[in-house]
Structure 1
Amino acid sequence: MSKILCVIRLGEVPLHLYHIISGFILLERQGIIDLKVERLGKGHPERLPYNMIEARVNGIQVLYDLNDGYDNLLREGQDFVDFLDSLLNKFHICFKRSFSPHQNSKLKHANKMLPLGLNYMVTVPGNTAHFPTPEDPKKEKIKKIIRMIPFSEYYNGRYYMNFFEGIPSLEKDPKILFMARLWDVEGDYAGQLSSSKKEERRYINEFRASCIRLCKKEFGPSFYGGVNSTGYASKYYADLIIDDKKVTKRNHYIERVKKSSICIATMGLHESIGWKFAEYVAASKAIATEELHYDVPGDFREGQNYLAFRTPSDCIDKIYRLKQDNEFRYKMMVNNYNYYHNFVRPDRIVFQSILAALQYGDYKSVQLERELS
Structure 2
Amino acid sequence: MSRISCYIKVGEVSLHLYQVIAGFILLERQGIIKLNIEIMKNTVQVQTPNNMVEVIINNDIRIIYDLNDGYDNLLNEDENYLDFMNKLLDRCDFYFKRSYSTKQNINLKHPNKIYPLGLNYMVTTSRNIAHRPFPLDPVKEKVKKLIRMLPFSEFYNGNYKLETFQDIPRKQSNPKILFMARLWEVTKEDFEKNPKKGEERKYINQVRAECIRLCQKEFGEKFFGGVNASPFSLENYSDIVISDKKITKRNNYLKKVKESTICISTMGLHESIGWKFGEYVAASKAIVSEQLHYELPGDFLEHKNYLSFNSPEQCVERIYSLLENENYRYQMMVDNFEYYHKYVRADRLILNSILTVLNKERMNLSEQNTHSIYAYI
Tell me if the contact between 2:98 and 2:120 (Cα under 8 Å) persists in the aligned partners. yes
Q: Which residue does the alignment assign to 1:91?
A: 92
AA aligned to 1:72 is N
Tell me if the contact between 1:57 and 1:358 (Cα under 8 Å) persists in the aligned partners. no
Offset at residue 321 of structure 1 (A): 0.7
Unaligned runs of 5+ in 2: none
Is the counterpart of residue 326 in structure 1 residue 326 in structure 2?
yes
Q: Which residue does the alignment assign to 2:335?
A: 335
Which shifted more, 191-200 or 64-73?
191-200
Distance 1:60 1:369 in 2: 19
Tell me if the contact between 1:257 and 1:280 (Cα under 8 Å) persists in the aligned partners. yes
Offset at residue 138 of structure 1 (A): 1.1
Q: Which residue does the alignment assign to 1:251?
A: 251
| 1:245 counterpart SS class | coil
| 1:71 counterpart SS class | coil
Tell me if the contact between 1:186 and 1:193 (Cα under 8 Å) persists in the aligned partners. no
| 2:358 counterpart SS class | helix
Offset at residue 359 of structure 1 (A): 1.4
Distance 1:190 1:355 in 2: 42
Q: Which residue does the alignment assign to 1:306?
A: 306
Cα deviation digits, residues 150-201 of structure 1 (max 9, x gap): 00000000001100000000000100000001001239x7689410000000
Offset at residue 367 of structure 1 (A): 3.8
Q: Give the TM-score normalised by the residue count of structure 2.
A: 0.96
Aligned positions of 1:95-244 closer than 5 A? 95-186=96-187, 193-244=193-244
Tell me if the contact between 2:191 and 2:199 (Cα under 8 Å) persists in the aligned partners. no
Cα deviation digits, residues 106-135 of structure 1 (max 9, x gap): 101111110000000000000000011212
Q: Which residue does the alignment assign to 2:76?
A: 75
Distance 1:140 1:341 in 2: 31
Q: Which residue does the alignment assign to 2:13?
A: 13
AA aligned to 1:22 is A
Report % sequence identity.
54
Offset at residue 360 of structure 1 (A): 2.0
AA aligned to 1:91 is C
AA aligned to 1:119 is N
Distance 1:133 1:20 in 2: 16
AA aligned to 1:211 is C
Cα deviation digits, residues 311-343 of structure 1 (max 9, x gap): 101000000011110000000000000000000
Which shifted more, 129-138 or 309-318?
129-138
Tell me if the contact between 2:41 and 2:135 (Cα under 8 Å) persists in the aligned partners. yes
Tell me if the contact between 1:60 and 1:361 (Cα under 8 Å) persists in the aligned partners. no
Offset at residue 45 of structure 1 (A): 4.0
Q: Which residue does the alignment assign to 1:49?
A: 49
Distance 1:57 1:258 in 2: 37
| 1:314 counterpart SS class | helix
Distance 2:224 2:46 in 1: 47
Distance 2:94 2:193 in 1: 31
Offset at residue 362 of structure 1 (A): 1.7
Structure 1 runs, 4 residues or longer, greater than 6 Å off: 189-192
AA aligned to 1:267 is M
Tell me if the contact between 2:204 and 2:267 (Cα under 8 Å) persists in the aligned partners. yes
Distance 2:110 2:187 in 1: 35
AA aligned to 2:175 is P
Structure 1 residues 43 and 362: alpha-carbon distance in aligned structure 2, compared to 1, 3 A threshold: same
Distance 1:255 1:3 in 2: 38
AA aligned to 2:133 is P
Tell me if the contact between 2:70 and 2:99 (Cα under 8 Å) persists in the aligned partners. yes
Distance 1:193 1:299 in 2: 39
Structure 1 residues 39 and 192: alpha-carbon distance in aligned structure 2, compared to 1, 3 A threshold: farther
AA aligned to 2:292 is L
Distance 1:335 1:369 in 2: 40
Offset at residue 77 of structure 1 (A): 2.7
